[in-house]
A = this chain, B = another copy of it.
């Protein structure tokens, strides 16, 4: 891959999702990633489904284009190899429990003496400080603790998780921002730094409206189904055959929507004359809208409302989302190669940069320890 991070070496000690997602982004931006895995087992996610011919598609989709070497960081022999790579690395990323790498002699304070230019990023469940720092965490735990699950779901439904591991993914994204900012900083100062990202912190950072509501009004927001708490109309409405999402975020769009639905008088209705009023009277607004929207199918409505520039759309399943012409036109489905399986498809990189070509493929999937010889030859 070519990109802004070309010629940078990432020493990747990550497993499962938060760390591998971050180093995948670094790889997509052009960096070389050497993934250090535990001997015998490798990254836990090699055992996570879905599988193709016993290979984890989950692992493959996150680790394409990385090189793999299996090292036991408690063994002298392997430590030697590790340290040879370490002194040449630009970036180290890890998502062990805090203290793990210190125990092996590779905490930030040890490592910076050997490589003061190193950018050392740790992503963990709760961060490197604070009373909960030593606790293990997975996505689900921080989605629950961080409050996101308390505002996701139907009113009074059972607990609802965001259908993707947003606890890991957002922390992977924030870590990638930190690393890139530190790279810029290093160009100015010549020095590396330590980056400490906690998944729980990241959940707090994405609470948006919900946290504003609590911190400003002491309100405790609840799940609202598909509804936005501060903008109306902004939710899924029933149609003849399924649902349509309509998001009319300001007065102008609301007016145009009412015209399109041939209920222009609504604009002058005191209950709906501002976004604030519409929010207070969402239920009444929904009844009026659905009374009209159930008369046609979702596709019919989208055809009708789209030329009028009203933000609307269907609720796509994953197949529909992936096979969407826009997604294809944007090169958001790329391919990677695995020796046993051949080419397979995976999500692309949403950061499109004018100075670099957005590649239609990614590097191969590494077997555990596949690049040992090559790496040893190069670094020892």
Interface string of A75-115 (1 = CB under 8 A from B): 00000000000000000000000000000000010000000
A212 to B165 alpha-carbon distance, docked (Å): 13
A156 to B203 alpha-carbon distance, docked (Å): 27
Instruction: Check if A207 sits within 8 Å of B318, measured CB to CB.
Output: yes
A159 to B151 alpha-carbon distance, docked (Å): 14
Using A243-B159, A318-B150 as known contacts, say yes or no to A165 and B226 having CB atoms under 8 A apart: no
Instruction: Check if B315 sits within 8 Å of A149, measured CB to CB.
Output: yes
A25 to B218 alpha-carbon distance, docked (Å): 25
A127 to B332 alpha-carbon distance, docked (Å): 11
Instruction: Check if B219 sits within 8 Å of A50, measured CB to CB.
Output: yes
For residues 1 through 56 of chain A, which have their beta carbon under 8 Å from a beta carbon of chain B?
3-5, 16-17, 25, 29, 44, 47-52
The yes or no answer to A283 lying at the interface (CB within 8 A) is no
Q: Closest CB-CB distance, A309 to chain B, in whole Å?
A: 6
Residue with the greatest number of chain B CB neighbours at <10 A, chosen from A29, A130, A309, A330: A330
Instruction: Check if A353 sits within 8 Å of B144, measured CB to CB.
Output: no
Copies in the complex: 2
For residues 144 through 190 of chain A, which have their beta carbon under 8 Å from a beta carbon of chain B?
144-154, 157-166, 169-171, 173-178, 180-185, 187-189
A310 to B136 alpha-carbon distance, docked (Å): 7
Instruction: Check if A204 sits within 8 Å of B160, measured CB to CB.
Output: no
Instruction: Check if B165 sits within 8 Å of A332, measured CB to CB.
Output: no
Instruction: Check if A162 sits within 8 Å of B162, measured CB to CB.
Output: yes
Q: Closest CB-CB distance, A55 to chain B, in whole Å?
A: 9
For residues 131 through 149 of chain A, which have their beta carbon under 8 Å from a beta carbon of chain B?
131-133, 135-149
Using A126-B326, A204-B332, A326-B200 as known contacts, say yes or no to A316 and B144 having CB atoms under 8 A apart: yes
Instruction: Check if B345 sits within 8 Å of A130, measured CB to CB.
Output: no
The yes or no answer to A258 lying at the interface (CB within 8 A) is no
Instruction: Check if A230 sits within 8 Å of B58, measured CB to CB.
Output: yes
Instruction: Check if B146 sits within 8 Å of A185, measured CB to CB.
Output: no
A346 to B210 alpha-carbon distance, docked (Å): 11
Instruction: Check if B160 sits within 8 Å of A316, measured CB to CB.
Output: no
The yes or no answer to A260 lying at the interface (CB within 8 A) is no
Q: Closest CB-CB distance, A44 to chain B, in whole Å?
A: 5
CB neighbours (8 Å) of A148 from chain B are 162-164
List of 7 A-B pairs having minimum Cβ-Cβ separation, nearest first: A151-B163, A147-B321, A180-B180, A130-B329, A57-B216, A4-B185, A138-B247
